[in-house]
Amino acid sequence: MRPEILNPLFAPVTTLKGAGPKIAAAAARLFGRPEKQPARLIDLLLHLPHDVIDRHHRPALNALPKESGQIVTIRARVARHRSPPPNSPAPHRIEVCDDTGCVTLVYFHARGSWLQQLLPEGETRYISGRLEWYGGKPQIVHPDHVLTEEEFTALPELEPVYPATHGLASRTLGKLIRQALEHLPELPEWLDPALIRQRGWPTFREALLRVHRPETPADLAPDSPARQRLAFDELLANQLALALVRHHVKGRGGRALCGDGRLRERILAALPYTLTGAQERAVAEIIADMESDARMLRLLQGDVGSGKTVVALLAMAHAAEAGAQSALMAPSDLLARQHFATIAPLAEAAGLRAVLLTGREKGKKRKDLLAQIESGQAHIVIGTHALFQQDVAFADLGLVVVDEQHRFGVHQRLALQRKARHAADVLVMSATPIPRTLALALYGDMDISRLDEKPPGRQPVRTATIPIERLGEVIARLVQAVERGERAYWICPVVEESDTLPATSAEERFATLMQAMPGKVGLAHGRMKGEARDAVMEQFRRGEIAVLVATTVVEVGVDVPEASIIIIENAERFGLAQLHQLRGRVGRGNKPSSCVLLYRDPLTATARERLKVMRETEDGFVIAEADLKLRGAGDLLGAKQSGLPQFRTADLSQHDELLAIARDDARRIILQDPDLRMPRGEALRHLLYLHERDAAVPLLTAG
C-alpha cells in the first residue's frame, strides 16, 4: 500500500486550477503516461526546468547574443508597425529600438488593432522572448512577454523554463507546478544523515522548491546541491529496486547444475575456430555460477560479433549435462531464427536437440513442439515472447538466456523464470555496448561478464563519411564492387517518402539502384510481412541478389559473412549506438570491409561529432561512452520502450559519480534491513513509490 502522506501527490493534474481535459491530455503525453492513465502532481514536481529567464540582465540591442535560440529580455521604444496587406499570409512586423540599435518583433495571424494597443508607437516596453537571427538581423517571433514598466516590476526576476509540448507551453507548466508545490508535504528523510552533511544537501521538499523557484541561475546547474539531491534520490530508488530484485531472486536459492564437460567438448570440437581469451573467461565465470547453490544472475555484454551466442550455447550444453533444459528468448522473430540457424547444427553435433518456438509456429507443428518441450526431448528451446505463454510447459527448465535484454522488462524476465520448477539460472546478453554507468542503472541486480576481444578472422571495417552530393559516385563504385562479386547493404532511415522528413526512403533508393543493377537488388523493411522479408534476406544470404536495401530491420541478428560493404544514407539521422550496430553487419568474413556514411548538410554539432567518432574507432565501448556524453542516457538505447529507466531528475552523463554511491548505499541497506522495516527503511518505501519503483515493494514480503 502506498503511504497515505503521498496520496495528494498522486492526485490527477485536473485537480489543479486551469487544468482542463486538453491540458491534462497534453500533460499525459509529455510525461509518457500509459493510455488512459492521467498525469499526476508528482509528474509536474519531478519535471525540472532546463533553462531560466534571467531578467537581471537586459543587454543593449547592439550587444545581443550572436547565436539564435537564446531567451532575452530587452527594454526598447516602439518605433513603427508594418502591417501586412489585407488577406495576406505575411506577418505583422514591429520595429523596436534603443539608442544602440533595433530588433523586429514578428506576429503571425494577429489582429493589428490588438498589436497597436499592446505596443503603441513611441512608448517604451519590456520585451522577453526567444531571439532569432534572420538574414543577419535580430528578431523575436511572438514574444513571451510585452510589459509596461509597472507590469515588469511585478514579474519574477528569474523565471524557470520547462521542456514543453504541443498544447502545453512552458508558462502554463510553470503555473501548474507552482500550484502543485502547495500540496508538497514534509516527508520523512530517507537519505543517510552523514551523506547529507558531507554534501550539504537540502531536504527533498527544499530541493524541489529551490529548482522550481530558483534564486540564481546556478540553482539549476547539474552540480547544484538541490539538483544533486534530487538526482541522487532517483538513482537510489533505481538501485534499491534492482537490489531488492537481486535479493529476492538470490534469496529463493538456486540449485547446483554440475556437468562433466563432455557436451561442451563436442561443441568446441565442432567449431571452426578456437575461443578468444575473453570467451574462455566468460564461460568459466558462468559455469562457476551455475555450479554454485545460489541462482545465477549474470549479464554477458559484448560488442557486435564478439561471440556471445557461442558462450551462451556452452552454458546451455552445461545445463544439459546436468539434466536440465535451457530457454533462449530473443526480442524478434528474425533474431530468434538467426540464433536457431547458428545453434541447431552445433547442438546436433553434441547430440542435443534445439527447437524454435515463435508466434509463427501454428497448429500441429506447434503442438508437436510443445510436446517435445514438456517431455524434455527438446534440450534447448529458442523463441520470442511466445516462450512465456501459458501453454508452454518445460520438463525441467534450468537456464534462462535473454538476448538484447534492454528490449524486455524485468517482469518478462521473471515470467520466463516462473516456468522453472526449481529456481532457474539467468544469463542476459546484450550486443549494445553499454558504458559502465549505464550498465549499473540497467543491470545493477547482476554480475557482469564482458567480451572485449574480437574473434580471430574478424576484419577491420574502413569507415568514410561522404556528402550526399557525391551519391552518383558512390553508386558507380558500388556497381563496380558488385561486378567483382561483392555484396552490400544499403540502409535508409525511412520506408517511404515523407513531406516532413528530408530523408531518402528505402523504396525510392531501391528503385534507383534497380535501374543501375537490374535484378541484383532486394528490399527489406519492417512493414513487409515476416515471410516476405525473410525470403528477401535469404536471397541475399545465398547470393541470388548482391545488394540489400533495408531500413534498420537488419540492425541486429543478420549474419551474412560474404557482405563486405554497408552504405548508411542520412547517417546524421542515426544515433551512435545504432550506427555501430549497423556497421557490425560487415567485417564478418575474410574480405576487407568498408562502411560509407552518407550525410546531408547542414550538420548539427552533435551529428558532426557522431560521424567523427565513427570514423575514428570501432570499439563499441568507446562509442557507447561518447554516445552517453553526446545524447545523455535517455536516448542511448533508442526508444522509450527499451527497458532503460527513464530518469527524470538524474542525468547519467552528469551524475555518474552519484550512481556509484547510490549502488553502494542500496547494497548496504539490503544487508542491514532487507525488508525495509527500520525507520530509514520505512522512509525509503516513500522514495520507491515517488519514483515508481514500487514494483519492487511486493518483493519485500514475497518468498
For residue 522, what is the domain's CATH number? Answer: 3.40.50.300
Per DSSP, what are the bridge partners of residue 487?
A: 563
State residue 642's pLDDT score: 35
Exposure letters 9-20 (e unless 16+ CB within 10 A, then b): beebbeebeebe
* pLDDT of 665 strictly over 90: yes
Asked if 199 and 79 sit in the same domain, the reply is no
Same domain, 310 and 382: yes
Do 87 and 192 lie in one domain? The reply is: no
Same domain, 197 and 285: no
Q: What is the pLDDT of residue 408?
A: 53
Contact 144, 171 (CB under 8 A): yes
In a domain, 681, yes or no: no
Report the range of poorest mean pLDDT among 294-298, 411-415, 662-666: 411-415
Has residue 161 got a pLDDT over 70? yes
Lowest-confidence range among 229-233, 246-250, 580-584, 691-695? 246-250
Asked if residue 303 and residue 381 are part of one domain, the reply reads yes
Structural domain of 583: 461-617
Shared domain for 372 and 266, answered yes or no, is: yes
Considering only the C-alpha atoms of the chain, give the largest distance between any 2 of them, rounded to a whole number of Å.
94
What mean pLDDT do residues 268-272 have?
Answer: 93
Cα–Cα separations (whole angstroms), residue 570 to 197, 464, 579:
51, 13, 11
- The number of distinct structural domains making up the chain is 4
Judge if 386 and 418 occupy the same domain.
yes
- The pLDDT, as a whole number, for residue 602 is 84
Asked, for residue 643, whether it belongs to a domain, the answer is no
Assigned domain for 693 exists: no
Strand order in the sheet with 593-599: 461-467, 593-599, 563-568, 487-491, 547-550, 521-524
% of the chain surpassing 70 pLDDT = 89
pLDDT category of residue 638 using cuts at 50, 70 and 90? very low
Check pLDDT > 80 for residue 117: yes
Q: What's the rounded mean pLDDT across residues 170-191?
A: 95
* Higher pLDDT pick, 223 / 249: 223
Residues 290 and 435 in one domain: yes
Residue 665 belongs to a domain = no
Say how far apart CA 208 and CA 194 lie, in whole Å. Answer: 21
For residue 229, what are the CA distances in angstroms to 204, 206, 215, 233, 698?
7, 10, 17, 6, 27
Q: How confident is the model at residue 32 (pLDDT cuts 50, 70, 90)?
A: confident
Specify whether 46 is located in the same domain as 64. Answer: no
Exposure of 170 in the CB half-sphere (CA atoms within 13 A): 17
Residue 695 pLDDT level (bands cut at 50, 70, 90): low
In this predicted structure, the answer to whether residue 52 has a pLDDT above a threshold of 70 is: yes
46 or 581: which leads in pLDDT: 46
Higher pLDDT, 584 or 679: 679
Percentage of the chain beyond pLDDT 90 is 56
Q: What is the grid cell recorded at 510?
A: 531501391
Measured CA to CA, the distance from residue 111 to residue 114 in angstroms comes to 5
Compute the distance between CA of residue 504 and CA of residue 599 in angstroms, rounded to an integer: 11
Strands (E), 34-123: 51-54, 71-82, 92-97, 102-107
Cell numbers at residue 618, please?
A: 570501432
Tell me, yes or no, whether 288 and 359 share the same domain. yes
Residues 604 and 468 placed together within one structural domain of the fold: yes
Task: Using alpha carbons, select from 637, 568, 627, 582 the residue that is nearest to residue 305.
Answer: 582
User: pLDDT tens digits, residue range 488-520?
Assistant: 999 998 765 544 444 668 899 999 999 999 999
Q: Is the pLDDT of residue 703 over 50?
A: no
The pLDDT score that the predictor gives to residue 436 is 67
